[in-house]
Amino acid sequence: MSVAFAGNSTTSPSRDAGPLRVMIVDDSVVIRGLISRWVGAEHDMEVAASLRTGLEAVNQIERINPDVAVLDIEMPELDGISALPQLLAKKRDLVIIMASTLTRRNAEISFKALSLGAADYIPKPESTREASAADIFHHDLIQKIRHLGARLRRKHAVASPPLAPPSPAPAARGPVARPAAPAPAPAVHPASSAPLVTRPFSTQAPKVLLIGSSTGGPQALMALVTELGPVIDRFPVLITQHMPPTFTTILAEHLARSSRKPAAEAVDGEPVKPGRIYLAPGGKHMRVVRSGADAAIALDDGPAVNFCKPAVDPLFASAIDIWHGNILSVILTGMGSDGMRGGKDIVAAGGSVIAQDEASSVVWGMPGAAANAGICAAILPLNQIGAKVNRLFAGDRS
């Protein structure tokens, strides 16, 4: 497969047409070969370069001019976390997806990378000989490249409207004619900008807060929980974030620090009580079941739902048997449509759904699916969701 290089391009913006240009940076020749084949097989992307070290990537970024970089963490000469800020300094709009094996150290580094400007992360399988692990890695990586790259190009399209044609030169004799006012340019609308219909909030007081998220979710969750102290103190909060094992352990620790409330991966059979955050552990679906007069956590090792494990829909659907219509659910940034079907069930039972808006989402897949399904009572920027949730649990019904 050919590897395409740009000419002597410096920091010019990525093209808004043609395939997404992907730079693969990994010291493993096997991983580079796999990703190169996968990317090369897609009609809307191409391999811009396949490099062995972070130093090569930093030295060649201006010549290669990629849209997306898949960046390994552990490499010789210059590792991924050290290369990351240098790459963004040379190409600030570069979409960087960190890739690492599932160790606690790499999970912690991946979280640090998100704070330094990486768009997302992806766990690499321990062995590419395990077919199911390789298939999941393949599917998730291609989807992340496609959705994050598409978001970058939409931003460029909004930021760079077409130039107006030059005005005609005035006539040589006679009065100078005033050029006709140009027709207003049509507004640029994303594909998802059809009028969205919202419904009234439930008249039933919420007794539990359920949150679902995926791509971009860790940053969104950590921002949101800082505002939810009054809710967490009085009501249980259950979160499903699409994330593998080990990563959810680290995320729970970050959520505890951000919220200053107890937060941990949920344990099968533990009671669901106010005052703490329950996070679905990576590799397990989290549901709630009745345990006497109370609710309890039930972890499920069944097949993936919506290509995800944990998935949001099982949590949302199971909560109806416990809290009926007294549910407030929030769907944050993420790829796919997970949470939409469960959200429909919650609304049908008398509960409410809030979706994060497109502008503040890293990927408007999950919240967009809910919004376009007409099940949301509000579609809000991330920085307004916390205040709204607090008001609803305090008695506001509008």
pLDDT value at 7 more than 60: no
- Cβ neighbours for 105, distance < 8 A, ≥ 6 positions apart: none
| Cβ neighbours of residue 213 closer than 8 Å, sequence gap 6 or more | 220, 221, 239, 240, 241, 242, 312, 331, 332, 333, 334, 366
Residue 251 three-state SS: helix
How far is it, in rounded angstroms, from Cα 360 to Cα 249?
Answer: 26
Confidence tier at 136 by pLDDT (50, 70, 90):
confident
Give residue-wise pLDDT tens across range 252-268: 999 999 999 999 999 99
Reference 318, options 393, 261, 266, 396; nearest CA is: 266
All structural domains of the chain: 20-156 (3.40.50.2300), 208-393 (3.40.50.180)
Compute the distance between CA of residue 257 and CA of residue 221 in angstroms, rounded to an integer.
12
What's the rounded Cα separation, in Å, for the pair 106 and 207? 37
Residues 282 and 245: beta-carbon distance below 8 Å: yes
Specify the pLDDT at position 154: 75
Minimum mean pLDDT range among 12-26, 39-53, 56-70, 172-186: 172-186
In this prediction, residues 107-130 reach a mean pLDDT of 87
Residues labelled catalytic = 214, 242, 338
Dump the DSSP string for 80-104.
HHHHHHHHHHH-TT-EEEEEEES-H
- Tell me the per-residue pLDDT of 281-327, one tens digit each, with 9 for 90 and over: 999 999 999 998 899 999 999 998 988 999 999 999 999 999 999 99
Q: How far apart are CA 225 and CA 297, in angstroms?
A: 21
Backbone angles phi, psi at 263, to 5 degrees: -145, 135
For the stretch 28-85, pLDDT in tens is 999 999 999 999 999 999 999 999 999 999 999 999 999 999 999 999 999 999 999 9
Hey, what amino acid is at 233?
Answer: D
